[in-house]
Structure 1
Amino acid sequence: MIGFLYQQLHGRRLLVTAAIGLTLLGVAGTVFAAFPLKWILDKIVNDRDPGLPLLEPLITACDSLAPGTRPPGAGGHTQFGVLLASGLVLLALGLIEALVTFVRLSVATSVGQDLEAGLRNRVFDHLQHVPLAWHSGQRVGELTQRVSGNISDIGKLVTDGLVDLLSGVLTLLGVLAVMLVISWQFTVLSMCVVPPLFLIVACYTRWTKRASKQVARAAGRVAEAAAATIGAITEVKVFTAQRWASGKFADRVEAQRRPGLRAGRRQAEFGPLVIVLLTLSNTVIVTIGAWIAAGHGHEFGLWFLTIPAGSLTVGTLTVFLAYSKLLYQPMRDLAKLMLLVSTASAAVGRVREILEQPCEQRPGEHGRSSPVRLHGEVAFRGVVFGYRQGDLPVLRGVDLTVRAGSRLALVGLSGGGKSTMVKLLPRLHDPWHGAVTIDGLDTREYPLDVLRGNIAMVLQDSVLFEGTVRDNLLLGRPGASQEQIETAARQACVHDTINRLPGGYDTVVHEGGRNFSSGQRQRMAIARAILRDAPVLILDEPTASLDVEAEVEVMRAVECLAEGRTVIMISHRLSLLGHVDEIAVLQAGRIVEQGSYQQLKARGGVFARMLAEQNRYATEPVELSMVDHAGAGEENEVRTT
């Protein structure tokens, strides 16, 4: 975890160094804050002046302000001078500590927030470049929890924990050094509880860390359950499944509560154990120290340890008591820091798991140069592919060529591999064997940005992102002018629809585009694809979820979009395929038929049987093409919220 944090603090290490320096200064003030109390008690009880040459000028100046009384003994400083000088030193140390603490915590907060923001951006960017195959095995709620909650745990450690931990360790070392100088024998006596204390810390840290990892995993499952239910709230209401959804969510919450309860119980046990040990130590210090300071006997012996009589004064004993609090306070704070460090450690592991995932390979970026715009001749050469190594392949030796500027339809039963084929084209996956080529060159030889920049896709359920309508259309071509945007919208038969919206092109799009109908979303997605102006177009069931009227509008827009491009279209509505140049029938991962609509219909094979099944319940079977809808009007209803 330390190495990970050090790496992430690149560019902020100077601030961290400054925070360490300020911590050293603050600890010095804390360590020496007990000495003025010793000087006061030694002067009042034992008539001893502070044995510190650097303090002499200050005490002498304070003596001049004394009301005229001298200490009982001969010579030396006045009690007033010692008291006043000690009070001024105590005030100065307190002010320095307050100022240093403010600056140190401000720096720590700044570093923590910068680290959190930078790490969150890095993880989010990395997630976008991880292969799709890895994403398919992940839960959305789990990944969201890592990007938000887990990174917050890491930032909290830097903001709150590291400063306190560093200050505590330095205070521990400083106090221990001063106590050894004052009386090493008494220091050894007071430190007898340290070994069992650290043993308890080690045990409880391990237990709490294990529970914290379980809590982190359970929190991801809770987020996943919440996201899934809220995302499908319509279905939950329609099927009156609120009780079922609440029960499922409550199970996830309970699974998070149990390890959290164990971690809290361990922390609750840890605190009292530390208090008992420290109370025992303070009892020993007070009892034995007071006995020696009172002058009873000649020396105090305990096994191998001998403390001479008169080696402690009341002031020294008071300093030891004050230092024992400073010495043990960091140890008591470990009860809080332990949980914080354990939680952050578990979070670091979950975040590193994402960052260690390899990004999509881009060999072409370091090899041959590629043209910016391709012609669009697509070919599949003996392609074999499956989603998991060891499973049966989804595609089994596919050979297919699509001429540049032609239109090909992929048809077949569900699960035959149609969507899988088109996903190989923009390298959302790579084939196990064989190759997918564009213009005769393996797609793996193109830089990804060049390859995907030459491909436009319109999916079955196109997504609109939060922002404005204009922002969504500009995804097709960032920097396009308003005139270009409107031209693309007209070609997609959605310009008039957008103008009827309250804000026009500045209308806010809600999450997932839910304030628009399915037909409107599809036509906006087509406008986005038109604006992209890519030579290769993939249409994956663009009208599958639309009603008849919306389908007519979308097909008109698709006809405009397909003009002059290489088109690969997936459709289960076989009656819409009369316009395509060629149809390929995919069955069980293989091309089993290929030809024009009329050829395949007349052949009486797989395509003809599928067409007959679709027309079985039709009163009057029809065969449609895109151009048949050229005169249809736009969808009238505009849904806004």
Structure 2
Amino acid sequence: MIRFLYRALRGRRLLVCLAVALTFTAVASDVLAAFPFKIILDKIVNHRDPRIPGTGWLLDGFDRFGDRSGLNPMESHTQLGVLLFAGLVFLALGLISAVVAFVQLSVAAFVGQDLGARLRKQLFTHIEHLGLDWHVRQQVGEVVQRVSGNITDIEKLVTDGLVDLLSGVLTLAGILTVMLVINWQFTVLAMCIAPLLFVTVLLYTRWVKRASKEAARAAGQVARVANASITAIVELKAFTLERWAARAFAGHVDRQRRFGLRAGRRQAEFNPLVMVFITVSDVVIITLGAWIAAGHAHGYSLGFLTVPATSLTIGTLTVFLAYSKQLYQPMRDLSKLTLLASTASAAAARIEEILDQPPEERSAAPRYIGPSRLRGEVAYRGVVFGYEPDRPVLHGVDLEIRPGTRLALVGLSGSGKTTLTRLLPRFYESWQGTITVDGVDVRDYPLPVLRDNIAVVPEDAILFEGTVHDNIAIGRPGATDGQVIAAAQQAHIHDTITALPGGYQAEVRELGKNLSRGQRQRIAIARALLRDAPILILDEPTSNLDVEAEAEVMRALEHLTRGRTVIVISHRLSTLGQVDEIVVLQAGRIAERGTYQQLRACGGPFARLLAEQNRYAAEPPPLTPVDDTVG
């Protein structure tokens, strides 16, 4: 945890050092705050003048307000003078503590919030640059919990606990040092309970830390289940699964509560134990200290340890009692700080788990000096790939796509169509074989160059919060309003946008929930058109459009895809009549390829898929007789 904070606080370490320096000042003020009581009691009860080097002139100045009658020969200063001096010391120490506390807490708050903001930015940026192979293995709620909740736990430690923890340690050391200087024999006697208290703190710290880690892990599961259920709210309502989802969610909440209660119970046990230890220590100080301060001739002896008679005054005894409270208070606070530190430690481990993941390799080696805009010639040679070890999805695929070719990938679900297109922009790395664009291996291109030359329209378009204009302009940052409108017109979404309240400045809600799926799809197509990339990947681009909109978009794409390499994934085989070539995939291999008419006539897998798709049509189109022996 300390190593993690040291790295994360880069650039703010001087402020942390300032907070540490102020902590020393604050602790010194708190430790010395009991001395005015000793000065007063020693003067009134024992008629002793304070012996503080360098303060004689100040005491002399206060003596003018007092009466010297009744002073014994050993006294140099009046009672009123000493009282005024003690009050001034108390006031000065209080003011110092107040000023230091203000600066200290302000610095801690700034460093904590700054650290949280920097960690969130760093973690989010790192997550963005991790490969899809990592993302598909993650649960969204878990990742969100680490970006939000876990970093908040670290913020709390820095803002609320770091200064208190250091202050507590310094207070223990400072008070113990002063007590040893005042009377080391009585200090050893009064601290006889300290080893037992230390062992107790050590054990409970370990127990609370273990329970806090489990609670943090359970909190991530709660966020995951909540995210999944809310995302699928339509399906839950459609299948009346509210009770089932509530039971599943309640199970994870109960697990989090169980571990949280375990940590809380340990903390609840810890506080009373500390109170008992403090009480025992106070009993020793009060009884034995009062006996010795009363002036009993023989003092007190405990084997090897002897506290001499008259070595304690009432003032000294009062200081010991005050220090006893101050000495054990940091130990009591450790119970709260332990939970805070344990939670932050578990959170830091979860954050480092993500930061340790290697990001995508975004730069090419050696340094790339090629063109920034490519022609769009694509070739797959012996490509083998799978999502799980020893379970390949693609088996030695060989495919060449000339620039400006419109190629369709068809086949049953799971045949490898989408996988083949995802390898092109290096969302995944192939196991074997090579993929080239313009004759250059895609791994030799920097990722920004490669992906700037590829536009993708996924099957289920995702829109971002903001305006409609912003969602289209994502395709080309810095695009003019005219270019955005032109892209929308070409995607046949312009009229729909202008009919919205606010037009192009209409707000898009989360994931575009205030727009229909067809509208979202056409906005995504406009985004891809505005990108003007030489390679265009269309994954079921018309799957969510009605017949009229589908015809409009197909006409727009037919015009706008000229001169570009277009890869279309489609299950609507009847819409593929205008593509240049169709490739049929079966179980990760190319089963056949050709034009629509060629494949329809040859009676192979494509013809059978087409016949199956038209089986339930009201007026099935006539098909060329197929060979029943095929397949």
Flag whether TM exceeds 0.5 (same fold). Answer: yes
CA shift at 1:529, angstroms?
Answer: 0.5
User: Which residue in 2 is equivalent to 1:581?
Assistant: 580
After superposition, residues 17-36 of structure 1 pair within 5 angstroms as 17-36=17-36
Q: Given the alignment of the two structures, is residue 45 of structure 1 paired with residue 45 of structure 2, yes or no?
A: yes
Instruction: Give the secondary structure class of the aligned counterpart of 1:53.
Output: coil
1:262 is aligned to 2:262: yes
Give the direction of change, closer, same or farther, for the CA distance of 1:74–1:430 in structure 2 (3 Å limit).
closer
The residue type equivalent to 1:469 in the other structure is V
Q: Secondary structure at the match of 2:364?
A: helix
CA distance, structure 1, for counterparts of residue 179 and residue 318 of structure 2: 12
Q: Distance in 2 between matches of 1:610 and 1:246?
A: 42
Aligned counterparts of 2:101 and 2:621: Cα–Cα separation in 1: 81
| Structure-to-structure mapping, 1:184-583, within 5 angstroms | 184-364=184-364, 366-389=366-389, 391-583=390-582
Query: RMSD of aligned C-alpha atoms?
Result: 1.4
Q: Aligned in 2, Cα 1:305/1:407: closer, same or farther, shift over 3 Å? A: same
> Which range moved further: 482-491 or 108-117?
482-491
TM-score, structure 1 as length reference: 0.95
Shift of 1:308: 0.8
Aligned twin of 1:639: none
Partner residue, 2:605: 606
In the aligned structure 2, how far is the partner of 1:326 from the partner of 1:559?
81
CA distance in 1, matches of 2:508, 2:133: 29
Letter in 1 for 2:540: E
- Aligned residue identity for 1:27: V
**CA–CA separation in structure 1 for the residues paired with 2:98 and 2:371:** 64
CA displacement at 1:619 relative to structure 2:
2.6
Shift of 1:297: 3.3
Corresponding position of 1:9: 9
- CA-CA distance at 1:557 after TM superposition: 3.6
Q: What CA distance in whole angstroms lies between the structure 2 residues aligned with 1:202 and 1:59?
A: 47
SS at structure 1 position matched to 2:601:
helix
Q: CA deviation at 1:461?
A: 0.6
Task: Give 3-state SS (helix, strand or coil) of 2:335's partner.
Answer: helix
SS across alignment from 2:325: helix
Q: Indicate whether 1:153 and 2:153 are aligned.
A: yes
Relative to structure 1, the CA distance from residue 596 to residue 473 in structure 2 (aligned partners, 3 Å threshold; closer, same or farther) is same
Q: Please tell me whether the aligned partners of residues 49 and 75 of structure 2 are also in contact (alpha carbons under 8 angstroms).
A: no
Equivalent pair of 1:116/1:155 in contact (CA under 8 Å): yes
Higher alpha-carbon deviation: 248-257 or 53-62: 53-62
Alignment check: 8 A CA contact 1:384 1:434 kept = yes
Q: Structure 1 residue 398: deviation in Å? A: 0.2
Query: Which residue of the partner structure matches residue 627 of structure 2?
Result: none
Consecutive unaligned residues of structure 1, counting only runs of 5 or more, are 624-641
Secondary structure, counterpart of 1:364 in structure 2: coil
Question: What CA distance in whole angstroms lies between the structure 2 residues aligned with 1:43 and 1:584?
Answer: 102
- Aligned residue type for 2:89: V
Q: Which SS does the other structure have where 1:288 is aligned?
A: helix
How far apart are 1:75 and its partner, in Å?
4.5
In structure 1, distance between residues paired with 2:559 and 2:339? 61
Say yes or no: does 1:171 pair with 2:171: yes
Task: Give distance in 2, aligned partners of 1:373 and 1:87.
Answer: 80
What is the Cα deviation at residue 211 of structure 1? 0.8
| Structure 1 residue 233, shift from structure 2 partner | 1.5
Q: 1:97-176, aligned counterparts within 5 Å?
A: 97-176=97-176
Q: Which residue of 2 aligns with 1:634?
A: none
Per-residue CA shift, 1:339-395, capped at 9, x if unaligned?
000000000000000100000023515433231100000010100001122x31000
Corresponding residue number in structure 2 for 1:633: none
**Pairwise CA distance, 1:327:** 1.1
Kept after mapping to 2: 8 A contact 1:492/1:560: no
Query: Deviation string for 1:543-571 (max 9, x for gaps)?
Result: 22333334333323433442321000000
8 A contact 2:382–2:432 mirrored in 1:
yes
Summarize deviations over 1:430-475 as a string: whole Å, max 9, x none.
1000011100111000000000000000011100000111111111
Name the % identity: 65
- In 2: Cα distance, 1:191 partner to 1:374 partner: 78
The code of the aligned residue for 1:33 comes to A
SS in 2 for 1:46: coil
Aligned partners of 2:416 and 2:585 also within 8 Å: yes
How far apart are residue 240 of structure 1 and its match?
1.8
Residue 78 of structure 1 and its aligned partner are, at CA, apart by 0.4
Contact 2:27-2:171 at 8 Å conserved across structures: yes
Moved over 6 A (4+): none
Q: Structure 1 residue 197: deviation in Å? A: 1.1
Question: 1:243: Cα distance to partner?
Answer: 1.3
Q: CA deviation at 1:6?
A: 0.5
Q: Gapped runs of 5+ residues in structure 2?
A: 623-631
| Contact 2:67–2:78 under 8 Å retained in 1 | no
Taking the aligned partners of 1:381 and 1:169, their CA distance within structure 2 comes to 66
Distance 2:4 2:283 in 1: 43
Letter in 1 for 2:364: G
Q: Are the aligned partners of 2:48 and 2:75 in contact in 1 as well (CA < 8 Å)?
A: no
Cα distance in 2, alignment partners of residues 137 and 370 from structure 1: 35
Report Cα offsets for 1:394-436 as digits up to 9, x if no partner. 0000000000001100000100000000000000001000011
